[in-house]
Amino acid sequence: MRAKDIRDKADGESITMLTAYDAPTAKVVDEAGIDIILVGDSLGNTQLGYDSTLPVTVDEMASHTAAVARATENALVLADMPFLSYGADRGEAIENCGRMLKEANADGVKLESGPHTVELTERLVALGIPVQAHLGLTPQHENETGLFRQGTDMEGAEEILELAEAHEAAGAFSLVLEHVPTNLAAAVSKRLSIPTIGIGAGPDCDGQVLVVDEVIGRSTDTAPFSRSWGDVRGEMERAVAGYKEDVESGEFPAEEHTHHESGVEDVY
Residues engaged in binding ligand KIV (CB under 6 A): 19, 38, 40-42, 80, 176, 178, 199, 209, 211
Short-list 66, 7, 8, 4, CA closest to 37: 66
Compute φ and ψ for 17, nearest 5 degrees.
-140, 135
Least separation in angstroms between CB 38 and ligand KIV:
6
Short-list 130, 67, 71, CA closest to 103: 67
**SS3 category, 129:** coil
CB neighbour class for 259 (10 Å; exposed up to 12, middle 13-18, buried from 19): exposed
Comparing CB distances to ligand KIV, the nearer of 204 and 225 is 225
Looking at 178, 237, 245, 251, which residue is catalytic?
Answer: 178
Comparing CB distances to ligand KIV, the nearer of 55 and 242 is 55
Whether 46 contacts 16, CB under 8 Å: no
Contacts 24+ apart (CB under 8 A), 43-49: 43/80, 44/82, 46/19, 46/21, 46/211, 46/213, 46/219, 47/21, 47/22
Least separation in angstroms between CB 210 and ligand KIV:
7
Least separation in angstroms between CB 212 and ligand KIV:
9
Comparing CB distances to ligand KIV, the nearer of 138 and 171 is 138
Active site residue 255: no
Question: CA–CA separation, 200 vs 177, rounded Å?
Answer: 8
Question: CA–CA separation, 193 vs 235, rounded Å?
Answer: 42
CA 138-140-143 angle, to 5 degrees, is 105
Comparing CB distances to ligand KIV, the nearer of 124 and 155 is 124
Least separation in angstroms between CB 246 and ligand KIV:
37
Least separation in angstroms between CB 61 and ligand KIV:
10
Comparing CB distances to ligand KIV, the nearer of 66 and 199 is 199
Residue nearest to ligand KIV (CB): 40
What residues act catalytically? 178
